[in-house]
């Protein structure tokens, strides 16, 4: 099985490569990267005028399997990923049951092998059943293939447990991903606390619910000298806290979602439940700070927090509807539109935050275009704008506030292990 | 709207109203129970003028009210925009009174039908009579005027427009054609 | 002017002209309420459904009376006997009732934005009868009508709204409406019951009635719920009475011709003493009767057309 990608502009942030070259792929691996490769291949892709980048990596996806297959499955979720240019996605463990046991990690790999079209790497729970009481068997979970640990959806409120989790993980050299939210402050809230919660009468979630939790986590990461990754950073002061912690030598990394740097709390005033997200959409000053964080690398990664919910769930009233929106299929377009086109990041920097940066944090050999590595590659058309249509979304759920938006950077091909899994 | 003719001028209107006032009095000399009620919008100033004329003749002030028929219209489910509801002001009892309803133009009779319904919700008058400045025909209900200023035969595509000092700044009656 | 809206969802999105037009129309309906027969045939053959997902006696009765006085057929649906408990969503319920050919929903719901959800999904007029702490447009319109009736103007008046601002839809709707008509609105309450960035709504914020009441033309007291104590927002209701209720002494700080208002139901002795509630400055009962007229006007404007 061989594949030749011809005349594409190859962009590889890890090696700072930005050049029109051909890529020859054989047996699932990148064999040669040269100009004008003249080899007989089973498949040839003419990528002239297109950009060839490492396959995108999402380190924050909710695939809902097992337990809520009505919302998403590994099959539908990986198809959505492929359509969005992602070749590797990391699924969060807040399933039913939670991924807190090696057998469940194995189940994810098995399902992916049978039904998935991109790579799925499981993130396992920090605490048993995500209850925040006892540590999950982290060593065994890693042995089964877990790539990180998180109780995403909940913060580890018990500071002692958080400290022990951070310490214990050092034996296994994996990162802990924290969902920073002090639920005593955020409890019952459904949107950012501020002018718009005041006028809508909806209960607010103050920025401080995130910041208070973050501050403690940073203190514990410093104390334990462990690797900590902060999920979905949403506030101005969170960015500042992370930046300062990094400067002080704390091993902390952070991610932001496309919706948090694109939409503001103002959207909530329409009462569209596709604006109900946790952490909530914040203000314009937060968006500015998130962008600054992306520029100076206080924020390392862009992750989707893809959170599928059925129309029945999202058609409820604003309080009754669940938090979360899908993101895999719109993430790349939003990155181009909001960051690259607005000159916040260069294309190279933006791609790094979707490829090599998450790969390094997770310690996986992915996210680069280099001879000898697994051929996970995404090709997009920098000049093609596409319309987000509900009926074309591959995700089982359609809860996106971006339906009807025109996005640049149309994904043309998604290639996993040398195999084309999506053609746009 | 194309103007076809001027049917009445200020003086003709004055004379017509004076005649109406006399006829109202002649029909029933007793003014003790007489009440004049104008239908919004141009029936209202007409009612006040008639009331004033009778007051001059008889030296007695009449109870004079205004009435809006909007809430009693029979075509509210057929029109695209709801009409403006105007003031109804009948601050006196009407039981056992002789009421003369006043309007500018009598046409289909539907306005008068609605006005009678309004009055009956205010009480049980002894008698309701109708005075109009112009009767242009084309009735759709079995209604006739007791006192008519001027009978004007019209075609259905024509319109009679009454202008009054109090509302429009001048007194005249025009015949118009719908375009 | 033509009132072109399909729904009445809040005061925030109404223009000054629209508010004035509703108030002007209200005048005509207020007159109907003084007639010997207080019923007009305007909405004969129309069916209005009162969908109430919160306990409410006054607002529901006021709407029902308004509907009946316009000769509409009235269907009452309250959450106590609803099928929502069986997992049916609000939208399902509304669609099912709509299938029976009804002409309008009046919705009271504890969650902000629910009338907007129905308005977007259903082709018939939706009237917001209170959505959580968001808006209660007909109450505010009746309050504003009452002020206008007594003071003959709104512009330039100083109005203090005192109490639990955070949880009050009446406060929000009144703030929008009164500000649009040129009044100066002040809000006052303990800071735990005043939402953040309130000033951006164009009001002045005070933390004690002694400061808020100085020179006001109108004082609007809001109902305080016992729950606020359990939620940790107040030490106790009795402490609240000490510092935030309307006393004769505090009322002396206002203008001599001050009007005292309350959207009801009044906790006598809590927000204000019975003597003030029943006193000559109180227009609480005017608010009630005007509420019926305002609701008739709104129903007329939304329903009396094709």
> Residue C44: which CATH number?
3.40.50.1370
pLDDT digits (tens, 9 = 90+) for B5-26: 999 999 999 999 999 999 999 9
Tokens matching residue C169? 């839809």
Chain-centroid distance of CA A176 in Å reads 15
Residues paired with residue A11 on neighbouring β-strands, in sequence order: A18
Q: Do C112 and A318 touch (CB under 8 A)?
A: yes
Same domain, C71 and C145: no
Q: How many domains, in total, are found in chain C?
A: 2
d(CA C122, CA A253): 47
Least CB-CB distance to C113: which of A193, A200, A315? Answer: A200
For residues A13 and A356, is the Cβ–Cβ distance under 8 A?
A: yes
Across the range A45-72, mean pLDDT stands at 97
pLDDT of C86 over the 60 cut: no
Closest-CA residue to A149 (of A46, A53, A229, A31)? A229
* Residue C62 sits in the same domain as residue C185: no
Same domain, C104 and C146: no
Residue C229: its pLDDT value, please? 83
The ipTM is 0.93
Mean pLDDT calculated for residue range A201-226: 98
Are the C-beta atoms of B8 and B172 separated by less than 8 Å? Answer: yes
The reply to whether residue C31 touches residue B84, judged by beta carbons under 8 angstroms, is no
Give the gap in angstroms from C-alpha C33 to the nearest C-alpha of chain B.
12
Answer yes or no: do C35 and B72 touch at CB < 8 A.
Answer: no
**Residue A66 structure tokens:** 């097992």
A140 Cα to chain C: minimum distance (Å): 41
Task: Find the mean pLDDT for residues A130-153.
Answer: 97
Distance from CA of C137 to the nearest CA of B (A): 21
Q: What is the pLDDT of residue C228?
A: 85
Q: Nearest-CA distance from B177 to chain C in Å?
A: 26
Does the CB of C197 have a partner CB in chain A at under 8 Å? Answer: yes
**Strand ranges (DSSP E) for B9-157?**
34-39, 63-67, 98-106, 127-135, 147-151
Separation CA B61–CA A265 (nearest Å): 66
Does the structure show a pLDDT above 60 at B121? yes
pLDDT surpasses 90 at C161:
yes
Residue B32 lies in a domain: yes
| C35 in contact with chain B, both atoms CB, cutoff 8 A | yes
Range of weakest confidence among A259-263, B77-81, C213-217, C222-226: B77-81
8 Å CB contact of C111 and A319: yes
CA closest to C114 among chain A residues:
A317
Percent of chain A with pLDDT over 70: 100
What is the arrangement of strands in the sheet containing A148-150, beginning at the earlier edge strand? Answer: A56-61, A86-91, A119-124, A148-150, A175-178, A228-230, A252-256, A301-302
Q: Is the peptide bond before A279 cis (omega within 30 degrees of 0)?
A: yes
DSSP string, A2-24: EEEEEEEEEEETTTTEEEEEEEE
Chain C neighbours, 3+ Cβ pairs < 8 A: A, B
**Tens digit of pLDDT for each residue in C15-73?**
999 999 999 999 999 999 999 899 999 999 999 999 999 988 899 999 999 999 999 99
**Same domain membership, residue C292 and residue C264:** no
Using the beta-carbon criterion (under 8 Å), do C25 and B84 form an inter-chain contact? yes
Alpha-carbon separation of residue A399 from A272, C90, C114, C153 (angstroms)? 10, 19, 18, 48
Beta-carbon neighbour count of residue C68 at 10 Å? Answer: 16
Rounded to whole angstroms, how far apart are CA atoms A261 and C304? 46
Is residue B104 situated within a structural domain?
yes
Return the active site residues of A: 305
Distance CA A141, CA A130 (A): 14
Q: Do C204 and C127 belong together in one domain?
A: no
Q: Give the per-residue pLDDT at C84.
A: 53
Mean pLDDT of C133-137: 98
Same domain, C121 and C179: no
Q: Is B175 contained in some domain? A: no
CA atoms within 13 A on the CB side of C87: 2
Domain CATH for B30: 3.40.50.2020
Residue A51 clears pLDDT 60, i.e. is over it: yes
Confidence of residue C2 (pLDDT cuts 50, 70, 90): confident
Domain A2-51+374-423: which CATH number of 3.40.50.880, 2.30.40.10, 3.40.50.1780, 3.50.50.60: 2.30.40.10
Dist. CA C165–CA A203, nearest whole Å: 13
pLDDT band at B172 (very low <50, low <70, confident <90, very high): very high
Could you tell me which of C162, C263, C241, C243 has the C-alpha nearest to residue C204?
Answer: C162
- Chain A: residues touching C (Cβ < 8 Å): 193-195, 197-202, 204, 270-271, 312, 315-320
Average pLDDT, chain A: 97
- What's the total number of domains in chain B? 1
- Judged by phi (left if over 0) then psi (alpha if -120 to 50, else beta), residue A384 lies in beta
CA distance B111 to C265: 42
* C87 in contact with chain A, both atoms CB, cutoff 8 A: no
Chain C residues in contact with B88 by the CB 8 A cut-off are 28, 31-32
Q: In this structure, are C183 and C280 located in the same domain?
A: yes
Give me the sign of the Cα torsion angle B57, B63, B66, B67: negative
CB contacts < 8 A (A, C): 63
pLDDT at C80 over 70: no
Q: How far apart, in whole angstroms, are the C-alpha atoms of residue A328 and residue A91?
A: 12
Cα distances from A45 to residues A2, A6, A84, C76, in angstroms, run 11, 6, 19, 66
pLDDT in tens, A188-198: 999 999 999 99
Domain A55-362: CATH class, spelled out: alpha beta
Please give the residue range of the domain that contains residue B136: 11-75+84-155
Supply the DSSP string of A117-141, one letter for each residue.
SSEEEEEEPSBGGG-SSSB--HHHH
Contact A155, A182 (CB under 8 A): yes
The whole domain housing C123 covers 16-135+288-303
Residue A93 burial (CB < 10 Å; 0-12/13-18/19+)? buried
Of B71, B87, B122, which is closest to C42 when you measure between CB atoms? B71
C41 touches chain B (CB under 8 A): yes
| pLDDT band (50, 70, 90) for residue A40 | confident
pLDDT, one tens digit per residue, over A326-381 is: 999 999 999 999 999 999 999 999 999 999 999 999 999 999 999 999 999 999 99
Do C90 and A318 count as a contact with CB atoms less than 8 A apart? Answer: no
What's the pLDDT at C87?
A: 58
Q: Which residues pair with A23 in a beta bridge?
A: A5, A33
Q: Which of A184, A189, A200 to probe by mutation at the C interface, max C CB count within 10 Å?
A: A200
Measured N-to-C along each axis, helices C137-151 and C169-180 cross at an angle, to the nearest 10 degrees, of: 50
CA distance B101 to chain C (A): 18
Phi first, then psi: give them for residue B4, nearest 5 degrees: -100, -45
Higher pLDDT, C264 or A9: A9
Q: Is residue B177 part of a domain?
A: no
């Amino acid at each position: 099985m061989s594949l030749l990608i011809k005349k594409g502009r190859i962009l590889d942030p890890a090696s700072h490569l930005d050049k029109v070259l051909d890529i020859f792929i054989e047996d699932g691996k990148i064999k040669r990267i040269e100009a004008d490769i003249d080899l007989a291949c089973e498949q040839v892709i003419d990528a002239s005028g297109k950009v060839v980048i490492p396959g995108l990596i999402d380190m924050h996806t909710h695939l809902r399997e097992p337990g809520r297959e009505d919302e998403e499955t590994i099959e539908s979720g990986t198809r959505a990923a492929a359509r969005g240019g992602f070749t590797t996605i990391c699924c969060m463990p807040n399933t039913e049951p939670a991924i807190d046991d090696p057998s469940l990690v194995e189940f994810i790999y098995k399902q992916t092998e049978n039904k998935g079209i991109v790579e799925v790497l499981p993130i396992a729970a920090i605490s048993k059943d995500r209850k925040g009481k006892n540590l999950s068997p982290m060593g065994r979970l890693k042995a089964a293939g877990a790539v990180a640990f998180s109780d995403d959806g909940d913060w580890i409120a018990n500071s002692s447990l958080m400290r022990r989790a951070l310490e214990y993980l050092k034996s296994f050299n994996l990162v802990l991903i924290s969902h920073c939210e002090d639920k005593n402050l955020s409890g019952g809230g459904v949107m950012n606390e501020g002018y718009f919660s005041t006028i809508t009468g909806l209960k607010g979630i103050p920025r401080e619910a995130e910041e208070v939790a973050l501050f403690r986590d940073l203190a514990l990461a410093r104390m334990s000298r462990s690797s900590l990754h902060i999920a979905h950073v949403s506030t101005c002061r969170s960015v500042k806290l992370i930046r300062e912690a990094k400067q002080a030598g704390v091993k902390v990394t952070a991610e932001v979602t496309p919706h948090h740097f694109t939409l503001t709390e103002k959207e909530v005033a329409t009462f569209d439940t596709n604006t109900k997200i946790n952490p909530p959409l914040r203000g314009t000053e937060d968006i500015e700070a998130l962008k600054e964080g992306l520029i100076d690398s206080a924020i390392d990664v862009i992750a989707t927090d893809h959170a599928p919910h059925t129309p029945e769930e999202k058609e409820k009233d604003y309080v009754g509807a669940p938090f979360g929106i899908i993101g895999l299929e719109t993430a790349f377009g939003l990155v181009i539109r909001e960051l690259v086109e607005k000159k916040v990041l260069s294309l190279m920097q933006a791609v790094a935050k979707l490829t090599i940066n998450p790969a390094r944090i997770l310690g996986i050999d992915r996210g680069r275009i280099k001879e000898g590595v697994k051929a996970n590659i995404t090709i997009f058309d920098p000049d093609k704008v596409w319309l987000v249509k509900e009926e074309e979304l591959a995700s089982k759920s359609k809860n996106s506030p971006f339906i009807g938006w025109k996005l640049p950077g149309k994904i043309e091909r998604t290639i996993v292990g040398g195999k084309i899994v999506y053609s746009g | 709207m194309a103007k076809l003719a001027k049917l009445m001028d200020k003086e003709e209107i004055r004379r017509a109203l004076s005649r109406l006032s006399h006829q109202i009095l002649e029909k029933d000399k007793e003014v003790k129970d007489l009440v004049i009620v104008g239908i919004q919008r141009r029936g209202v100033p007409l009612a006040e003028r008639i009331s004033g004329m009778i007051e001059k003749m008889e030296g007695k002030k009449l109870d004079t009210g205004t009435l809006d028929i909007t809430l009693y219209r029979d075509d509210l489910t057929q029109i695209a925009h709801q009409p403006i509801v105007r003031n109804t002001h009948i601050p006196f009892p009407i039981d056992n009174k002789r009421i003369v309803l006043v309007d500018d133009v009598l046409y289909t009779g539907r306005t008068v039908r609605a006005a009678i319904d309004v009055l009956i919700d205010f009480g049980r008058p002894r008698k309701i009579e109708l005075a109009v400045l112009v009767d242009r025909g084309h009735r759709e209900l079995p209604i006739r005027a007791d006192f008519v200023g001027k009978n004007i035969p019209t075609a259905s595509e024509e319109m009679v427009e009454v202008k009054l000092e109090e509302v429009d700044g001048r007194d005249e009656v025009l015949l118009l054609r719908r375009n | 002017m033509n009132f072109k809206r399909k729904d009445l969802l809040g005061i925030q999105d109404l223009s000054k002209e629209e508010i004035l037009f509703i108030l002007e129309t209200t005048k005509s309906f207020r007159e109907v309420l003084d007639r010997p027969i207080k019923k007009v045939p305007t909405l004969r053959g129309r069916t209005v459904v009162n969908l109430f997902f919160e306990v409410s006696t006054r607002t529901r009765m006021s709407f029902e009376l308004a509907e009946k006085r316009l000769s509409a057929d009235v269907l009452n649906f309250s959450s106590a006997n609803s099928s929502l408990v069986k997992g049916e969503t609000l939208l399902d319920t509304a669609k099912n009732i709509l299938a029976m050919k009804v002409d309008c929903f009046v919705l009271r719901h504890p969650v902000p934005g629910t009338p907007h959800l129905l308005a977007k999904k259903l082709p018939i007029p939706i009237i917001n009868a209170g959505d959580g702490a968001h808006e209660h447009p007909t109450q505010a319109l009746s309050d504003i009508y009452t002020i206008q009736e007594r003071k003959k103007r709104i512009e330039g008046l100083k109005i203090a709204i005192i109490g639990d601002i955070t949880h009050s839809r009446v406060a929000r709707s009144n703030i929008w409406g009164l500000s649009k008509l040129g009044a100066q609105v002040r809000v006052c309450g303990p800071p735990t019951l005043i939402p953040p960035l309130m000033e951006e709504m164009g009001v002045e914020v005070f933390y004690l009635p002694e400061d808020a009441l100085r020179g006001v033309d109108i004082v609007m007291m809001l109902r305080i719920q016992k729950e606020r104590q359990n939620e940790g927002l107040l030490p106790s209701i009795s402490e609240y009475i000490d510092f935030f209720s309307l006393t004769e002494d505090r009322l002396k700080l206002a203008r001599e011709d001050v009007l005292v208002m309350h959207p009801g139901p009044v906790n006598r002795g809590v927000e204000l003493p019975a003597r003030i509630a029943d006193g000559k400055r109180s227009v609480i009962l005017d608010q009630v009767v005007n509420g019926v007229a305002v609701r008739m006007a709104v129903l007329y404007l939304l329903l009396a057309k094709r």
